[in-house]
Amino acid sequence: MTFGPRFAPGYRPYVAKKSNTGLIVAVSIIGIVAVVGGLIAAVALTGGNSRHVADAGYSSTYPTDTESATTSEETTATTSSSEETTTRETTSGRETPTSQTPSGPHSVAKTGDNPLFASPAFGLQNVPCSLSRWATDQASVTRFFQSGITCLDAMWSKALGGADLPFESPNLAVPRSLSESSTPCGSGGTTTGVTPFYCPSNNTIYMPMDRIEIDVWGNHPGPYLSILAHEYGHHVQNMAGISDAYGEQRYDAGADSAVGLELSRRMELEAQCFSGMFLGSASVSGGSVDKNIYNEAWNAQDRGDDYARNGKRDHGSAKHNISWWQHGATTNRSQQCNTWTASAGDVS
């Protein structure tokens, strides 16, 4: 795969201020409370009803197998009469099918018409983020990513709860190398092209030291935080039930069919948009995610599957990875990240 320049001269200025325009963070019986105020993943195949999607750069693991920032097209949730809704209870990172509707929030196995996209006002609350200082040794990297997860938890738990969807914090693993990442979703030796990834089977984000491109990003924390936020985006998809519906749809279509690969691109580009939402919101919250970190992340999204050596374009072009991330960062609305209702041309 060919990657474009990382920090090209004349990159776009700080624009995160657009993300603090009134964010819906909670829904109650009384109504909606308004509060004023994204990489690639890899997928591996697993057995049973779970499937994983391989990423060509950054990786995320899921159950089996862009719209530009200036677009005028508004994405809206659609309802499919043929799509089934299932419920599940989450316990210690495991999904337990149940024949009875849980008394509390439950995941909904839907994509475009998932409750996460029910309102055009749903977004992330601007919660100040306190990041551990970035350094390139393993202990510091682990502390940095764990502090990032704490920040992501603070925002996404409210967004999921507001949509009456379940939440639990993901686990984190920072092995020295990808080869040490033996997981229920596969290992570094068996998941081709995988770097950082999310494994839903054990609810864990894996950030191998040898695959987060320290030699490229050095002491710029923005790109690392956006990679983490992309993988966390897959966790959000898993909690919401999007991953369940996606896995079934891709399995039925054929993982490597044209339809199956397009579904994978929609999944990955949505995680890109979710990553942008987080960085955009955190950068205007008064915490340690400042405009420099935001700008670093903004200019680190130019990677895609344009030149995939295996011919399987399952992550989206560099152009669309950039545009979906930036769209999430400047709108901070989950419905604006609904890639499932976007045209095929916006997820190519």
Please indicate, yes or no, if residue 73 is contained in any of the structural domains: yes
Q: 94 φ, ψ to 5°?
A: -100, 150
Residue 89 lies in a domain: yes
Q: Which two tokens stand for residue 136?
A: 């390139």
Q: Per the structure, how many domains does the chain have?
A: 1
Token pair in block for residue 274: 């979710």
- Cα 195 to Cα 51: distance, rounded to the nearest angstrom: 17
**Pairwise CA distance, residues 208 & 303, whole Å:** 19
pTM confidence score: 0.75
29 in a structural domain? no
21 located within any domain? no
Q: Name the residue among 69, 21, 30 with its Cα closest to residue 325.
A: 69
Question: Mind listing the pLDDT tens digit of every residue in the chain (348 residues)?
Answer: 322 223 332 333 344 444 443 344 333 322 322 322 333 333 332 323 332 233 333 333 333 333 333 333 333 333 333 333 333 433 333 343 433 445 689 999 999 999 999 999 999 999 999 999 999 999 999 999 999 999 999 999 999 999 999 999 999 999 998 887 778 887 643 333 557 999 999 999 999 999 999 999 999 999 999 999 999 999 999 999 999 999 999 999 999 999 999 999 999 999 999 999 999 999 999 999 999 999 999 999 998 888 877 778 999 999 999 999 999 999 999 999 999 999 999 999
Range(s) of the domain holding residue 175? 38-347
Longest dimension (CA), the chain: 57
pLDDT attached to residue 308: 77
pLDDT of residue 178: 81
Q: Are 160 and 166 in contact (CB under 8 A)?
A: yes
Distance from chain centroid for Cα 117: 15
Confirm whether 334 is domain-assigned.
Answer: yes
User: Could you tell me if residue 30 is inside a domain?
Assistant: no
CA dihedral 279, 174, 147, 159 (to 10 degrees): 50
